[in-house]
Structure 1
Amino acid sequence: MADAQTIVITADQAGGRLDAVLSQADLTYSRSALANLIKAGCVLVNGQTVKRSYVVKEADEIVITPPETKETALEAENIPLDIVYEDDDLLVVNKPQGMVVHPAPGHPGGTLVNALLYHAPLSTINGEFRPGIVHRIDRDTSGLLMVAKNDAAHQALAAELKAHKTQRIYYALVRGNFTENEGTIDAPLGRHPKDRQKQAVIAGGREAVTHFKVVERFQGYTLLELALETGRTHQIRVHLAYIGHPVIGDNVYGHQDKILNIKLPGQLLHAKTLVLTQPQTQETLRFDSELPAIFQQVLTGLRVEDSKFDNQ
């Protein structure tokens, strides 16, 4: 079991919600993970269980005691994996488009987690259904993910991610042309007010920052390099749709699933580069991946179309 953590509320923190104050503290848990711990009674304030909406007071003593971990009930499945790197603490996997990261309603098996369990032991911090998963990408987004093989590595990788020290670089093909060569989208995100399955830019949402650079321009389309400063759900897809440049193939946020008469299995968004610190050696590790075949096929087609236009 992970060691209990104790926090004493300062005057500056007093008056805030318990879950919000804890999420801003130097902990290795996400706000959603903290909410689950509070609900499970693993967070005590002055020795008492409280709701996550509890308003903290100066000198409140908060003790966080993670529950005993247990062996996962998930089934390990012999599913091929594209493992880019592996050591005793972590592995980096290149997830294919169409694969769900972890089991969820409607996706009980066939996920990346099921495949990982067959391959190696995983950390237990995220509980029964997300062992090893430090961060995730959408089902129809491809690319690099880091996975923790033990709890100590998980805590270190999660802390680095929370401190915005992990570099995650994506490539996306988007609709429309850019006059600028680079820029930043700084717009808060939250659940869509009318469609609970979607995210949206909303006032009072969680901070979300995406940096972009133009890699290549086409007639009516642009290939972008994107760097995440935060990692909100659907962040890149929502931010690009918000500025009028939805990701190609993303029919949830504003683009059809066809381009150049090519039927797309999902959005043309790929987690291309990942830079992290090895938890034990503190060595900086950098990984890069090729764009998926369908992504490259579309880019080749656009270049052919542009060459026809240039020769007219």
Structure 2
Amino acid sequence: MSLLRNLFSFSFTANSILTKPYFAISIKAMESTSELNLQYPKPISPPPPPISKDIELRRAMEASSKSSLFNLTRDDVLYEDEHLMAVNKPKGVYCEAVLRSAPQIVLDSSSEFHLANRLDRDTSGVMIITKSHKVAAKLVKAFTEHKIRKSYIALCIGSSPNWRKITVSSGHGRSKHGAWRVYAALDVGRVLPGGSFVRDMETTFEVVSVNGGETESCEVENVIVVEGEQELSCGGDAVVVVRAFPRSGRTHQIRLHCQYLGISIRGDVKYHGMYEWRGRTFEGHELHAECLSLDHPVTDDPIVIRAPLPCWVTEDGKCNG
């Protein structure tokens, strides 16, 4: 009882002023915080499924082990000159492991190696490593200003698209749970929990094949400006290979927009991609950075760097690569 009396006892001096009870102020502050939370923009895409947490943790541990043993070879090099080199990053290896092993295949030991671009752990394809601070700064600036043209290819599972070419324009940001989500285009610039902002992102997609059958190229481009919940059909088990051209460079941009289109990338469990499909389990998503087109940061000459395509692009997704 004495403890309770101490907790709830208050001493006042002649100059003490108490305009409102302490608990009333606390409740009012909580209500104000709640009202503020209601003003945050709501994400359009769903949160990661509960199963993704354990799967992603296991994949990260396996990738760490694989990365610790990884070494680049000359066969991985797609392009090289005295200023930079482009390599074909394999799936399931962290970018830092690729950078760490770069000196082993370059004769000039005085080079200062830097990553000019990054790929997700399970994304394969073109990655540029520069050999000096100056070139690195120029390329990073070019990537930031979207002066470098990028194309990716992805194998997705979902409904057969009723479009052949489409551009998706939306917002991008982290939800209150820390996951990257799609937001409405009108929410761009609004504050998110934690103080970050919704940023714009835009991706153009072209259908390459459906269930192994190639599609004809199409000049007619549909445009979707994301305003609310997804209206496109979801579900289905069609194998849809798409080529993606991101016009911005947001984290997990292609993966998020594929999810929004109802054709999540196979193996991309974080964004509702098929983890188990037709009797097989897929470790990692099937997304490949196939091409970078840029002006050389020193000579200004145009260069196009292409990485060999994975076997799943042309074999109806039946290979293990």
Question: TM-score normalized by structure 1?
Answer: 0.62
Q: How does 1:1-312 map to 2 (within 5 A)?
A: 79-81=71-73, 82-102=76-96, 111-120=97-106, 132-175=114-157, 176-194=159-177, 196=178, 198-202=179-183, 203=187, 204=190, 205-218=198-211, 220-293=238-311, 296-299=314-317
- Higher relative contact order (Cα pairs below 8 Å, separated by 6+ residues): 2
Deviates more, 1:292-301 or 1:156-165: 292-301
Q: Kindly tell me: are residues 123 and 158 of structure 1, through their superposed partners in 2, closer, same or farther at Cα, counting changes over 3 Å?
A: farther
Distance 2:122 2:278 in 1: 19
CA drift of 1:119 comes to 3.5
Distance 1:296 1:171 in 2: 11
RMSD, aligned CA: 2.3
CA drift of 1:162 comes to 2.2
Conservation of the 8 A alpha-carbon contact between 1:173 and 1:221: yes
Corresponding letter in the other structure for 1:80: L
CA drift of 1:174 comes to 1.4
What is the aligned residue count?
210
SS of residue matched to 2:114: coil
Question: Counting helix residues as a fraction of each chain, which structure ranks higher?
Answer: 2
CA drift of 1:242 comes to 2.0
Distance 1:164 1:193 in 2: 28
Conservation of the 8 A alpha-carbon contact between 2:72 and 2:98: no
Conservation of the 8 A alpha-carbon contact between 2:311 and 2:317: no
Describe the superposition over 1:56-110 as per-residue Cα deviations: whole angstroms up to 9, x where unpaired. Answer: xxxxxxxxxxxxxxxxxxxx987134111111111101000000112xxxxxxxx
Q: Kindly tell me: are residues 77 and 264 of structure 1, through their superposed partners in 2, closer, same or farther at Cα, counting changes over 3 Å?
A: closer
Largest Rg, 1 or 2 = 2
Percent same amino acid among aligned pairs? 27
Deviates more, 1:150-159 or 1:265-274: 150-159
Structure 1 stretches lacking a partner, 5+ long: 1-75, 103-110, 125-130, 302-312
Structure 1 runs of 4+ with >4 Å offset: 120-124, 294-298
